[in-house]
Copies of this chain bind each other. A is one copy, B any other.
Amino acid sequence: MKPIRVGLLGIGTVGAGTFNVLQRNQEDIRRRAGRGIEIVMVAARNTERARQLTGGQVDVVTDPFAVVNDPSIDIVVELIGGYELPRELVLKAIANGKHVVTANKALLALHGNEIFAAAQEKGVMVAFEAAVAGGVPIIKALREGLTANRIESVAGIINGTTNFILSEMRDKGLDFATVLKQAQELGYAEADPTFDIEGVDAAHKLTIMSAIAFGIPVQFDKAYIEGISQLQAVDIRYAEQLGYRIKLLGITRRTQTESGEGIELRVHPTLIPTARLIANVEGAMNAVLVQADAVGASLYYGKGAGSEPTASAVIADLVDVTRLATVDPYCRVPHLAFQPNEMTDVAIVPMAEITTSYYLRVYVKDQLGVMADLTRILADGGISIDAVLQKEPGNQVNLDIIMLTHQTREKNIDAAITKIEALPAVIGKVTRIRLETLS
């Protein structure tokens, strides 16, 4: 059989990795796929560099639409990044009857519903293993490996930059700004790190996993997003003393609210018991923990970014698409795991309605009775306390009081915090970090 013909949109880090791995392992890949996979065309702004990278073996063009409109191309690999141009290109490729492989989580988190509907209509595949957790085959695990299960929750360390920063802050006792600077120098953080450190990138990935896990449309606009830029070294230290690590977790799970079933969809710094495997995922690594009714807990760990790890996922998709290019679309795995006519509309719950535990740090003047006031306020709000730690940070006058609460609704803790901050003995704002036992 003739090799399948692939057109690449963009040949940056991931594009170059994809080209290199396909070249290096072409024999092994062909022996698995039963058919050669050849990149025959590349669209790049810097054509000189693209020609160098590809060794003059492929057709290099500047106009990505030239790839998307070329009738000889079977699969388009979109690695441009961003939203609008990729959206246009992917929709055009689909309209032209081409299969698409993309690593673009932003695109799918925002425009996934439109793109998958168009692909469904046209009978083509849009594959996106590389969009979540890089080389870790988590999309395949969720969509195919766990099909027997009612999935209860997905919780992931799905942004390597922030996990690297948090690991360094804990290891070396440094503050956020210092570590961010180091991370930028080492290439672990972008010059403009906003998307990573503010949790947006993690929320894109979480949105995609949420849709697949629960059979709902992608709903990025409903995600709650809180990054790590406000996180203080002192809270990492106190958490450690209480037996917890702080990770930026993306969490999506089924929940019951007062008005019925709902889905939580949230990214924020989270205390996790140190004994959990996922709490020990350090540096730029990614890990996703899935809870499901039949299999119980399972965890998937590996490199979430980088040239060749991401290329590994892109090429796995290329092999899948190559295998199924000619079969009846009905025989393929649905884009969002559930058949398009079988999606549900369970609502994403507002943050006030989620249920979790909390780490609270209250900075107080060391006055008699302040602890009594704090515990009274929590008790009145129906919030139980699991642990208390009292620390003198630096001077002998004021105190940090740290409390871990039982599970409660976020609106309850918010109401209690408002009351706590109104106490005369309390200085400034209460620090609140969510806590998940993940048991």
Chain A contact residues, CB within 8 Å of chain B = 17, 21-22, 24-25, 28-34, 129, 134-137, 140-141, 144-150, 215, 277, 280-281, 292-303, 308-309, 311-316, 319-320, 323-324, 326-328, 330-334, 337-339, 342
Q: A147-B32, A147-B316, A331-B324 are in contact. Are A302 and B298 (CB under 8 A)?
A: yes
For A313, list chain B residues within 8 Å (CB). 148, 295
In contact, A148 and B316 (Cβ under 8 angstroms): yes
Contact check, B148 vs A315: say whether CB atoms are below 8 A apart.
yes
- CB pair A334–B145 under 8 Å, yes or no, is no
Q: What's the nearest-Cβ distance from chain B to residue A303, in Å? A: 5
Closest chain-B Cβ to A203's Cβ sits at a distance in Å of 23
The CA-CA distance from A85 to B275 in the complex, in Å, is 44
Pick from B28, B30, B129, B330: contact of A150, CB under 8 Å: B28
Kindly provide the distance from the CB of A3 to the nearest chain B CB, expressed in whole angstroms. 15
A284 to chain B, nearest CB (A): 11
Q: Determine how close the nearest CB of chain B comes to the CB of A438; give it in whole angstroms.
A: 13
A25 touches B302 (CB 8 A): no
Using Cβ atoms and an 8 Å threshold, which residues of chain B touch A299? 299-302
Set of chain B residues within 8 Å of A140, measured between Cβ atoms? 137, 140-141, 144-145
Whether A316 lies near B146 (C-beta < 8 A) is yes
Question: Is there an interface contact between B328 and A312, defined as CB atoms closer than 8 Å?
Answer: no
Cβ A334 vs Cβ B34 within 8 A: yes
Residue of B nearest to A320 (CB): B144
- Count identical subunits in the complex: 2
Q: Nearest CB to that of A332 among chain B residues?
A: B323
Q: Which 6 pairs of residues, A with B, have the shortest CB-CB distance?
A: A137-B145, A298-B302, A148-B315, A135-B295, A31-B342, A295-B312
Q: Which of B28, B148, B334 is within 8 Å of A21, CB to CB?
A: B148
Shortest Cβ gap from A308 to chain B (Å): 4
Name the CB-closest residue of B to A290. B302
By the criterion CB–CB under 8 Å, are A32 and B337 in contact? Answer: yes
- Cβ contact of A149, chosen from B25, B33, B301, B330, cutoff 8 A: B25
Q: Which residues of B contact A32 (CB under 8 A)?
A: 147, 215, 334, 337-339, 342
11 additional A-B residue pairs with CB within 8 Å, beyond A17-B294, A34-B342: A21-B294, A31-B215, A32-B337, A32-B338, A135-B294, A140-B145, A145-B316, A277-B277, A277-B281, A294-B308, A296-B308
Which residues does chain B contribute within 8 Å of A136, judged by CB atoms?
295, 298
Minimal beta-carbon separation of A343 from chain B (angstroms): 8
Closest to A31 in B: B342
Given contacts A31-B215, A135-B298, contact A316 B150 (CB under 8 A): no
Minimum C-beta distance from A16 to chain B (A): 12
Residues of B contacting A330 with CB < 8 Å? 34
| Residue in B closest to A136 when the chains form the complex, CB atoms | B298
Q: Distance (Å) between the CB of A323 and the closest chain B CB?
A: 5
Q: How far is the CA of A292 from the CA of B30 in the complex (A)?
A: 17
CA distance A333 to B319 in the complex (A): 10
Q: Out of B149, B281, B315, B328, which one reaches A147, CB within 8 Å?
A: B315
CA distance A24 to B149 in the complex (A): 9
Q: Are B33 and A147 in contact (CB under 8 A)?
A: yes
Inter-subunit contact B308/A302 (CB<8 Å): no
Find out whether the CB atom of A294 lies under 8 angstroms from the CB atom of B25: yes
Most buried by B among A295, A301, A311: A295
